[in-house]
Amino acid sequence: MSAGRPGSGRGDPAPSRLRPRDTLRVAASGLSARPLRAVLSALGIAVGVAAMVAVVGISASSREQVNQQLRELGTNLLTVAPGQSFTGEEVRLPPESVDMVDRIPAVTDVSAIGAVAGAAVYRNDEIDPGQTNALAVNAARIDLLDTVGGTVASGRWLDEALAEYPTVVLGATAAELLGISRTDGTVGVWLGGEWFTVVGVLDPVALAPELDSAALVGWPAATEILGFDGSPSTIYERSDEAAIEEVQALLPATVNPEHPEEVAVSRPSDALAAQAAADETLTTLLLALGGVALLVGGIGVANTMVIAVLERRTEIGLRRALGATRAHVRRQFLGESVLLAGLGGTGGAVLGGIVTAVFAATRDWPFALPLWVLAGAAAATVLVGALAGAYPAARAARMPPTAALSSV
């Protein structure tokens, strides 16, 4: 009656057991038996993961590039500009406001530009003055370049002497639009009805992009030759990093004690950071697209696994005859599916990393690929593989061994 009568049998057999290592081996054997199919169905996953890794990697590299730039440029630059009055009139900053800002104790540097009303700049004197361009003519203090952290691309920046004479330094865009590259003093531009000698061209100024499309003349020259009224249109100031908030609060009342609300204070580094953040919308969209590719890849894996289970009925029957439990069969096919997806995931992560590295290299960006992306990609592929394999594996496990063996 009882299982294992003494003397009649050998008692209950020890349970079937498949070592974890053998589970892996058996799962891998299914893939290595059909390598081309494995590679092709892993490709879908690889594309999805590569897209996601590259998107995150490129956006991280871009952010790293901005951060690096901000570290170099500093985040302690504030700009002060006239805002709008309550009645909507244009307001002006008083000429002495630059000195007043300088008197704030925490302020270390201060400079300014002033828009020269009615002045425009042209390549020569034959261009119809009615034909306006987008280039601004600004009076610039000679400490401007240091304060905004700008650099000279060619020629030189204004000094005390040059600032008195009809000389001009062009922003990067302005020089390009005017078609000027020579800064040896032989080229002039027609500026406010006078010839001004071009002595320098600037590199793009990251923290003050408005200077890129400006022609900058010395403050005294602007006053004397162009009739500039000395009212600053933008004040640039730097302070101790720790005191920025305090300075920011003090600036409006310092510049315009009567109408502090008419003063606009901004922090250009915020704009740069915000620009990097704005890219995140696109990143999210691309990430979602990568997710869709991953999903499609997962469906491909599921399809491959369903076919594999149908094709390998005999193998399943044989394994059951050799003593595999349903769980062993299920684990084999689940493992195969996860390996298949993992193969795609690994390939995709490597591909995504390469794309990021190449993209960053071509733009002179630092290479940044957060570790969580790789961990996320690994987790995503395991999940996709497990989901894709769940149904085929369950089906394989349910297959009766006799049906599996007689189906040849």
On whether the CB atoms of residues 165 and 242 are closer than 8 A, the answer is no
Residue 165, both tokens: 């004479």
Q: Is residue 229 within the footprint of another protein (CB under 8 A)?
A: no
Closest of 61, 62, 41, 45 to residue 377, by C-alpha:
45
Nearer to another protein, 105 or 400 (CB): 400
**CA dihedral in degrees (205, 211, 212, 217; nearest 10)?**
-120
Cβ 284 to another protein shortest distance, Å: 46
Give the binding range for another protein (CB under 8 A) out of 64-72, 225-233, 240-248, 397-405: 397-405
C-alpha to C-alpha distances, 190 to 133, 145, 167, 194, nearest whole angstrom: 13, 23, 11, 6
Kindly tell me which residue out of 161, 274, 307, 321 binds another protein, with binding defined by CB under 8 A: 321
Longest dimension (CA), the chain: 122
- Residue 36 in contact with another protein, rule: CB under 8 A: no
Among 13, 35, 88, 179, binds another protein (CB under 8 A): 13
Show the site string, 58-77: x = touches another protein by CB under 8 A, - = not.
--------------------
Q: Among 75-83, 86-94, 242-250, 309-317, which window interacts with another protein (CB under 8 A)?
A: 309-317
| 406 binds another protein per the rule CB under 8 A | yes
Q: What is the smallest separation between the CB atom of 405 and another protein, expressed in angstroms?
A: 7
Instruction: Find, among 109, 112, 70, the residue nearest to 206 by Cα.
Output: 70
Closest CA to 283 of 61, 62, 55: 55
Which ranges of 74-215 does DSSP label H, i.e. alpha helix? Answer: 97-102, 144-148, 172-178
- Applying CB under 8 A, which part among 124-132, 290-298, 300-308, 320-328 lies near another protein? 320-328
Reported in sequence order, the residue ranges of 71-151 that DSSP labels E, i.e. its strands, are: 77-82, 107-115, 121-122, 136-140
Q: Which of positions 322-351 make contact with another protein (CB under 8 A)?
A: 322-328
Among 204, 220, 260, 401, binds another protein (CB under 8 A): 401
Nearer to another protein by Cβ, of 317 and 348: the residue is 317
Count of residues in the chain:
408
Contacts with another protein by CB under 8 A: the residue count is 43
And the tokens for 136?
A: 């601004």
9 binds another protein (CB under 8 A): yes
Q: Does residue 185 bind another protein (CB under 8 A)?
A: no
Q: Which residues are at the interface with another protein (CB under 8 A)? A: 1, 3-5, 7-19, 21-22, 25-26, 29, 33, 314-315, 317-328, 400-402, 405-406, 408
